[in-house]
A and B are shown apart, each in its own frame.
Chain A
Amino acid sequence: MQREYLHQLPGQSLKASNSSFLARFHLDTPLLLNLLVLASFGLFVLYSATNGSYDAVATQATRVGIGFTVLLILAQIPPRVFRFWAPALYSFALVLLLLVLLVGTQKKGAQRWLTIPGLAQFQPAELAKVAVPAMVAWYFHERQLPARLRDVCLALVITCTPAAFIALQPDLGTALLVAISGLIVLFMAGLSWRLIALTITTTAIAAPLAYFFAMHDYQRRRVDTFFNPEADPLGAGWNIIQSKTAIGSGGLSGKGWFNGTQSRLDFLPESSTDFIFAVLGEELGFLGFSILIALYLGIVLRCLLISYQAQDNFARLLSAALGLTFFVYVVVNIGMVTGLLPVVGVPLPLVSYGGTSIITLLAGFGILMSIKTHRKMHIHSS
């Protein structure tokens, strides 16, 4: 194995010399290229989704710029630093989540925002999206794999505590996604199939119980709507019927950029944020979808490769978790907009209008770049 590494070394350094400029800044060319193309494609769709609002696109482009800056900075930091700071980051996120519940700012009936004097508001839940997988990866870095039952239980506690805080805000969608990011680490850490089967069975039993006893009315309505959107076509079912109509009427080649009647005529709600995929589906059709999914798959597969090539368990687990969580966002968003999943407030990564999620996502990819580009030094040091 050690010999393998040595064999790989000249090849890697050869490649690195080809894109020496990017390599010097610890950037992974394929991943960066994919992300840049995706972000540009996102702005292109957003321009139409906002009815040609230059301001909205400029704002979004600024956020993307900030995100890539964060990415660039994080890429310079060696992975062991992330590993070292993971518990601290996690604790910090926990404290912030508690603060949100106590002194958070309300928006649209949920307490999700924290106002920092002098700074803009931000959602601590976004921080948890990175902090939770980092903490679980840190935990398993020192432990023996495959994960033993005791470790699994502790990892679940690490995962579920912040998720529960987020669920209390209440923001069930984000809570689920944070939980999933932790669970993905567990899965990568070799969680036994028997336990996975047990979890799925338990969930299948617990879901109806949660529906009847634990959910808020608005959450229950969303589930009802998911199962039967036509029951209230002008009310709760409106969003999903209109987004399916938008996508379906787009056809294979789409109605053309700026020609989507569903979004243009305001039939499609939240067309620039959570339902932006419907705009893409209507205007650019199956072709546009194929481009988008190809970009997403390129990113995810690159992440899996980075994980495969990573040097230690923390790096392997975290890079796989970040890449797969990213993909889960994609699946949940498209699944929701196409009526495969209930409506949960998950934006389409790097395409939906909105600040915090773009910066969090690109921060995650910064960590991945760091993992990818710092491996040689890691070998040399060991």
Chain B
Amino acid sequence: MRTSSTFKNHHLEQRIIAVRLLWALIIVTTLSTIIAARLFWLQSTEHERYTTLSDKNRVQTLAVSPPRGLIYDRHGRLLALNQPNFSLSIIPEQATHPTSLIEQLGEWVELDDDDIRRFERRRTSHRRPWEPVLLKAGLTEEQIAQIVARQHQLPGVRINAIPTRRYPYGPMLAHLLGYVNRINTNDLENMTPEEQSNYSGTHFHGRTGIEAEYERYLHGQAGYQKVEINARGRILRTLQEVSPQPGANLYLHLDLDVQQAAWDALTGRRGAVVAIDPRNGGVIAFASRPGYDPNLFVTGISVADYSKYRDDVDQPLFNRALQGQYAPGSTIKPMVGLAGLEDGVTNWQRKIWDPGYYRLEGVERPFRDWKRGGHGWVDMKTAMAVSCDTYFYDMTFKLGIDKLHAFLSQFGLGERTGIDLPGESRGILPSREWKRASKGQPWYHGDTINTSIGQGYMLTTPLQLAAATAQIARHGKAVIPRVAQLESPVVPHQITLKDSRNWQKMHDAMAAVVTSAQGTARRIGSAPYSIAAKTGTSQVFSLGLDQIYDADEIEERLRDHAMFVGFAPLEEPAIAIAVLVENGGGGGSTAAPIARQVMDAWLLNTDGELAIPEANPILNTPQEPQVP
């Protein structure tokens, strides 16, 4: 009985388990099917999507920024170059203790709270794992050496080199070359999409001066690299590479020796020198002093350095040559004289008596000549040489402002010269319309009188004066100042005089400024070449209310600005120059010697003999980058 019951039991139980085994089989089959379906969905249906994801993982396109074009002077001397700037980064995933690591690094590299705060912000913002996070840029060689020596103890620390602009001549060329600094969103927003992609690997953008003007030439064409990377962001191999096209090198008309002479001549002064080669418009020297160190701006100027520049009463950031607007004073007399000759209100024979003042009918106060007691009998040539104001008062009153304005306009006054530098000032060439529009007043005869000697409302930049002087030297053919040896898009204007001999006669009159016994520039004396010149003084009317100077300085800052324009040699002009010295006093005593030094540097060889340099050829396209 017991055995039979046990047997029956076994039978039933075996059946129960067998049924459950069948169920188990069904469940196993179902689960296998689900897994197989999942696999099929991933590997067939969604295969393309995951292939894309996988490629996106492993393949990264890196923009390779092109090396920025170099800038040379006319003799091939390097004015702007690229140097590696070393920066310190940390890969947080590799650093065992980021906080203590930063503390440790602080022993060798100065890290302020600002650096650490910015590091934390970069670290916590969205980024790929294993991507290095910038801690400090601009390491010194000593700092690099100290870190590299301990690199094996500093897991996760990286030192990267970024090619960075360097200006070996610093302040001397700052106002001409300008500088680059970090590219910003504004720069990118002003670009077309193609340009933006071309700039995707670029760190710097030209901000002022030549660097800004020729940004597109200097930048070049970005290349790219398709690389395979691992999850740590390490590049394992390059899959595809398109090399960047280096930026075009830029050759300037500038002669570094002449620039140096101009810079040195302005030592201790606030002023500007612009020297142009009248044969092609090339800018030989372009100095504005004081200057600033453009290298400070490249990787970001510190607040302390910047406020030092900003608060300096001498305004080192102000480009006096390009943007400084000064009353031209007597330096415009050659142009005013030509206007009178052209109109016929005067000629070379006509003489007037200068009692030391000029009286206008109906005006109580007489217009004074700069020389008390007057110059006596003066003709045009004498009036030029001694800078007789009365002669020009008389002549211009007869000529009238409308004709004077029309004639002077042809020298580009009141207009930008078209130089290849950004931010040029226009100056003011006053007229009836101008006065009505800007002052709401009618034009008075007294205004004409003031304008005739470059005072009153008239304002010019040193650059404009240099360009106008070059135009006189070229018998009326306008000269478009060029910094780079590239053709100007501006078509030069030609002044045609009724009597073209007047050009030569005016040159002679300007030569008398230097050579005649009473000439205002007689001090610059005899040179191995002949000089045509005109001096000027620009009256300083008032000081700004917010300007505070100490007692000693007040007198100096109230002095007139000294001006000088000229060209040489007289027969074959190879240099036209404008000099401005703020509060320099007389043009003949202060500005003229500076001009002489610059002209000597250009026209004379090292032995002091006349050796006129060839004019640079003008090129249509930027130079091909040179292989060093």
Q: Min CB distance, A108 to chain B, in Å?
A: 17
Q: Are A248 and B50 in contact (CB under 8 A)?
A: yes
Q: Are B57 and A262 in contact (CB under 8 A)?
A: yes
CA distance A300 to B31 in the complex (A): 13
Tell me the count of chain B residues lying within 8 A, CB to CB, of chain A.
Answer: 44
Quick one: which of A243-289 are within 8 Å of B by CB?
A: 244-252, 261-262, 265-267, 281, 285-286, 289
CA distance A189 to B20 in the complex (A): 8
Q: Are B18 and A249 in contact (CB under 8 A)?
A: no
CA distance A351 to B144 in the complex (A): 48
Q: Are A251 and B44 in contact (CB under 8 A)?
A: yes
Q: Are A340 and B231 in contact (CB under 8 A)?
A: no
B43 located at the interface, meaning its Cβ lies under 8 Å from any Cβ of chain A in the complex: yes
Quick one: which of A160-215 are within 8 Å of B by CB?
A: 187-190
Quick one: which of B40-75 are within 8 Å of A by CB?
A: 40, 42-44, 46-47, 49-51, 53-55, 57-58
Q: Are A146 and B16 in contact (CB under 8 A)?
A: yes
Interface flags, B11-43, vs A, CB<8A=1, else 0:
111101110110111001001101110111011
Q: How many A-B residue pairs have CB under 8 A?
A: 138
Measured between beta carbons, the chain A residues less than 8 angstroms from B53 are 245, 248-249
Measured between beta carbons, the chain A residues less than 8 angstroms from B46 are 248
- A234-B128, A297-B28, A313-B13 known; A252-B44 Cβ under 8 A: yes
The size class of the interface chain A forms with chain B is 35 or more
Interface flags, B289-303, vs A, CB<8A=1, else 0:
000000000000000
Residues of B contacting A: mostly: helix
B240 located at the interface, meaning its Cβ lies under 8 Å from any Cβ of chain A in the complex: no
- A267-B231, A338-B35 known; A248-B49 Cβ under 8 A: yes
Of residues B36, B46, B53, which shows the largest number of chain A Cβ atoms within 10 Å of its Cβ?
Answer: B53
Quick one: which of B360-399 are within 8 Å of A by CB?
A: none
Measured between beta carbons, the chain A residues less than 8 angstroms from B55 are 249
Q: Min CB distance, A278 to chain B, in Å?
A: 10
Q: Are A265 and B20 in contact (CB under 8 A)?
A: no
Closest to B51 in A: A249
Q: Are B57 and A245 in contact (CB under 8 A)?
A: yes
- A265-B229, A286-B39 known; A324-B24 Cβ under 8 A: yes
Q: Are B13 and A145 in contact (CB under 8 A)?
A: yes
A293 located at the interface, meaning its Cβ lies under 8 Å from any Cβ of chain B in the complex: yes
Q: Min CB distance, B248 to chain A, in Å?
A: 39
Q: Are B14 and A316 in contact (CB under 8 A)?
A: yes
Q: Min CB distance, B241 to chain A, in Å?
A: 19
Measured between beta carbons, the chain B residues less than 8 angstroms from A327 are 28, 31
Quick one: which of B249-303 are within 8 Å of A by CB?
A: none
Quick one: which of B173-229 are within 8 Å of A by CB?
A: 228-229
- A144-B9, A145-B12 known; A249-B50 Cβ under 8 A: yes
CA distance A327 to B228 in the complex (A): 38
Measured between beta carbons, the chain B residues less than 8 angstroms from A261 are 54, 57-58, 228
Measured between beta carbons, the chain A residues less than 8 angstroms from B528 are none
Measured between beta carbons, the chain A residues less than 8 angstroms from B39 are 247, 281, 286, 289, 334, 338
- A1-B11, A145-B17, A188-B17 known; A262-B54 Cβ under 8 A: yes
Q: Min CB distance, A249 to chain B, in Å?
A: 4
Measured between beta carbons, the chain B residues less than 8 angstroms from A134 are none
Measured between beta carbons, the chain A residues less than 8 angstroms from B49 are 248
Q: Are B35 and A267 in contact (CB under 8 A)?
A: no
A304 located at the interface, meaning its Cβ lies under 8 Å from any Cβ of chain B in the complex: yes
Quick one: which of B316-353 are within 8 Å of A by CB?
A: none
- A267-B57, A281-B39 known; A331-B129 Cβ under 8 A: no
Q: Are A300 and B50 in contact (CB under 8 A)?
A: no
Q: 4 closest Cβ contacts across the A-B interface?
A: A248-B50, A249-B54, A265-B230, A145-B13
24 residue pairs A–B, Cβ–Cβ below 8 Å: A187-B23, A188-B17, A188-B24, A244-B50, A247-B43, A248-B50, A250-B43, A251-B47, A261-B58, A262-B57, A262-B58, A265-B57, A265-B229, A265-B231, A265-B236, A266-B232, A289-B36, A297-B28, A313-B17, A316-B17, A317-B17, A324-B28, A338-B42, A340-B35
* Beyond A246-B54, A267-B58, 18 extra complex contacts between A and B, CB < 8 Å: A188-B21, A189-B20, A245-B53, A248-B46, A248-B47, A248-B49, A249-B47, A249-B51, A261-B57, A286-B40, A289-B43, A307-B21, A308-B18, A316-B17, A317-B17, A324-B24, A338-B42, A340-B35
